[in-house]
């Protein structure tokens, strides 16, 4: 085997290198200079993100265990961008004195989960998929319990690790069934052997339940709101965008490639899950007052919309999902960025605390409004196009009733997003959040989000590009 082939997994190698550099830097920096690690990691990771965009070779490694194609490279770049924004948003939070001794932990854990997600997306067999999934999940539990002194944070950590361990156990049981029925764990070999055999169906159902936990589909969503509320905001944003995005990518890849022969059997299942996820996520979001819980339920509802893309199986569905996640990265991180900035400055986490925000911090108020409009899918912002393509994909497969339900749900979601906007603009408050200036890194992150939200919506070339690479991937 030629060592030059390892260039195919350049993104994973770069990330591993970055994580190791942070580790070494942690060892060789004195107690006083720990905050320098932040600057180092930000520069390093920005570099990694940029290098990732350089086009390169694609192909298979390790006898097909690792597959790299233009689509997976694009997915990884999307995740890299998201993590870069998360890191920029976390900068001022990490500089707080209570976090001084665990700066590099945050970066190393985040980077190692990102490596896991990259391997998971590139998986060519179920073993690599499982290892990637676990590498992506276990460190996040540590991250969720990052605020050691807060009991809420510890609670979030334990809830995340136990529910994710249970879900991966269920998923593994499904995989063992699939292995028993087909005799292989490779995606490419299994595709031809998947039939309507009862054992395969059982395995498939276990597999979907396990993945349902990771993407937080109803009825597997119970951990989501608690973990999102208890974890520090910068971990929550990572969980809700990067972790969910990666799981959605691999879920659609596996459904579209390995299980394409039994597409008629899994469509009704996904159909039901989509209806429940959208509706329940939305209904629970209405009654929340904590902004993190609110965004958690809104992200459950968004996961329901992603399922619409999966129903539009094939090239258009794949394109719609990748495009939606790309938009979702910028949109949701915009909203989380504002929440993080406000929390850093004033500690406010409740929606009622946002009353009168526009009078004191007009820019943040406006940014939050745009992000929430984009989440709700109001034209001409990118969120509208993301939803539009998902609905098109589902309608293209003839699911008109489902699209109707989805549109009704989008309307309900507009109601609760508007509740926040009402608090920001209309509600009067005797003591609104005082005017503050966020750090430069946070400002850069927010500008990136807002640019992304507008540019991706209008640059049709991006959608065309994703479409061409999904076509290459699926054929």
Partner 1 sequence: MIEGIGIEHFLVVSTLMFFTGICGFIIRRNLITMLMSIELILNSVNINFLVFNRYLYPDQMQGHFFSLFIVGIAAAEASVAIALIINIYRSLQNIDVENVNEMKY
Which residues, numbered 114-153, are part of the site for partner 1 (CB under 8 A)?
Answer: 126-127, 130-131, 134, 138-139, 141-142, 145, 148-149, 151-152
Helix (H, G, I), strand (E, B) or coil at 330: helix
341 and 237 Cβ atoms separated by less than 8 Å: no
Backbone dihedral region of 61: left (phi > 0), alpha (psi from -120 to 50 degrees) or beta? Answer: beta
Cα(81)–Cα(20) distance, integer angstroms: 20
In angstroms, give the least distance from the CB of 454 to partner 1: 36
Among 52, 210, 212, 230, binds partner 1 (CB under 8 A): 230
- For the chain, the straight-line distance linking the first and the last C-alpha, in angstroms and rounded, comes to 27
Nearer to partner 1, 162 or 407 (CB): 162
Nearer to partner 1, 161 or 329 (CB): 161
Tell how far CA 278 is from the center of its chain: 17
Binding flag, residue 286, partner 1 (CB under 8 A) = no
Helix (H, G, I), strand (E, B) or coil at 258: coil
Give a three-class secondary structure readout of 185-209. Answer: CEHHHHHHHCCCCHHHHHHHHHHHH
In angstroms, give the least distance from the CB of 237 to partner 1: 18
Nearer to partner 1, 88 or 225 (CB): 225
In angstroms, give the least distance from the CB of 159 to partner 1: 7
Which residues, numbered 45-74, are part of the site for partner 1 (CB under 8 A)?
Answer: none
Nearer to partner 1, 133 or 273 (CB): 133
In angstroms, give the least distance from the CB of 130 to partner 1: 7
Cα(99)–Cα(121) distance, integer angstroms: 32
Binding flag, residue 166, partner 1 (CB under 8 A) = yes
Binding flag, residue 351, partner 1 (CB under 8 A) = no
Cα(142)–Cα(148) distance, integer angstroms: 10
Q: Total number of residues binding partner 1 (CB under 8 A)?
A: 41
Helix (H, G, I), strand (E, B) or coil at 81: helix
User: What is the DSSP track for 103-148?
Assistant: HHHHHHHHHHHHHHHHHHHTBSBHHHHHHHHHHHHHHHHHHHT-ST
Binding flag, residue 184, partner 1 (CB under 8 A) = yes
In angstroms, give the least distance from the CB of 358 to partner 1: 30
Of 80, 71, 43, 69, which is closest to residue 329 (Cα–Cα)?
A: 80
Cα(326)–Cα(83) distance, integer angstroms: 12
In angstroms, give the least distance from the CB of 222 to partner 1: 10
Binding flag, residue 219, partner 1 (CB under 8 A) = no
Structure tokens at 143: 């991250």
Binding flag, residue 226, partner 1 (CB under 8 A) = yes
Structure tokens at 189: 């070999």
Among 13, 46, 61, 165, binds partner 1 (CB under 8 A): 165
Among 10, 76, 159, 387, binds partner 1 (CB under 8 A): 159
Taking residue 61's Cβ as centre, other Cβ atoms within 10 Å add up to 17
Nearer to partner 1, 118 or 137 (CB): 137
Q: How far is CA 95 from CA 18, 44, 98, 152, in A?
A: 20, 18, 8, 22
Nearer to partner 1, 46 or 165 (CB): 165
Binding flag, residue 180, partner 1 (CB under 8 A) = yes
In angstroms, give the least distance from the CB of 141 to partner 1: 6
Nearer to partner 1, 154 or 447 (CB): 154
Nearer to partner 1, 134 or 427 (CB): 134
Task: Output phi, psi for 66, to 5 deg.
Answer: -120, 120
In angstroms, give the least distance from the CB of 468 to partner 1: 34
Going by the DSSP 8-state scheme, the letter that residue 66 receives in this structure is: E
Which residues, numbered 413-432, are part of the site for partner 1 (CB under 8 A)?
Answer: none
Among 35, 173, 197, 429, binds partner 1 (CB under 8 A): 173
- Per the DSSP assignment, residues forming a β-bridge with 290 are 350
Interface with partner 1 (CB under 8 A): 126-127, 130-131, 134, 138-139, 141-142, 145, 148-149, 151-152, 154-159, 161-162, 165-166, 169-170, 172-173, 175-177, 179-180, 183-185, 225-226, 229-230, 284
């Amino acid at each position: 085997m030629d060592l030059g082939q390892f260039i195919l997994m350049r993104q994973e190698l770069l990330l591993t290198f970055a994580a190791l550099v942070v580790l070494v830097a942690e060892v060789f920096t004195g107690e006083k200079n720990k905050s320098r690690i932040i600057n180092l990691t930000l520069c390093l990771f920005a570099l990694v993100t940029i290098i990732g965009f350089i086009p390169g070779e694609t192909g298979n490694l390790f006898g097909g265990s690792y597959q790299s194609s233009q689509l997976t490279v694009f997915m990884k770049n999307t995740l890299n961008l998201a993590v870069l924004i998360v890191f920029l948003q976390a900068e001022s939070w990490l500089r707080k004195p209570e976090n001084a001794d665990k700066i590099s932990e945050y970066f190393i854990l985040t980077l190692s989960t990102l490596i896991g997600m990259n391997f998971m997306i590139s998986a060519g067999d179920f073993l690599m998929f499982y290892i990637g999934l676990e590498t992506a999940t276990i460190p996040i539990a540590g991250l969720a319990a990052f605020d050691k002194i807060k009991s809420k944070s510890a609670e979030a950590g334990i809830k995340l690790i136990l529910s994710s361990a249970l879900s991966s156990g269920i998923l593994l049981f499904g995989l063992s069934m699939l292995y028993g029925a087909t005799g292989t764990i490779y995606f490419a070999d299994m595709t031809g052997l998947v039939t309507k055999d009862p054992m395969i169906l059982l395995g498939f159902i276990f597999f979907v339940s396990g993945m349902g936990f990771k993407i937080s589909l109803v009825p597997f969503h119970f951990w989501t709101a608690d973990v999102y509320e208890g974890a520090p905001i910068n971990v929550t944003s990572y969980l809700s965008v990067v972790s969910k995005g990666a799981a959605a990518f691999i879920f659609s890849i596996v459904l579209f490639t390995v299980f394409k022969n039994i597409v008629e059997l899994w469509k009704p299942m996904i159909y039901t899950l989509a209806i429940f996820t959208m509706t329940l996520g939305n209904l629970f979001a209405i009654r929340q007052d904590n902004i993190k819980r609110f965004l958690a339920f809104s992200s459950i509802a968004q996961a329901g919309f992603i399922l619409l893309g999966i129903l539009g199986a094939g090239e258009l569905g794949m394109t719609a999902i990748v495009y939606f996640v790309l938009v979702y990265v910028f949109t949701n991180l915009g909203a989380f960025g504002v929440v993080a900035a406000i929390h850093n400055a004033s500690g406010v986490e409740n929606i009622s605390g946002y009353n009168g925000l526009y009078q004191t911090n007009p820019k943040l108020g406006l940014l939050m409004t745009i992000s929430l409009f984009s989440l709700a899918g109001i034209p001409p912002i990118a969120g509208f196009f993301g939803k539009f393509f998902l609905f098109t994909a589902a309608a293209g497969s003839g699911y008109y009733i489902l699209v109707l339900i989805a549109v009704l749900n989008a309307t309900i979601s507009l109601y609760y997003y508007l509740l926040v906007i009402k608090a920001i603009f209309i509600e009067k408050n005797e003591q609104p959040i005082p005017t503050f200036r966020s750090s430069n890194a946070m400002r850069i992150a927010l500008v990136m989000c807002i640019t992304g939200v507008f540019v991706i919506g209008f640059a049709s070339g991006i959608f065309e590009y994703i479409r061409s690479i999904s076509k290459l991937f699926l054929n």
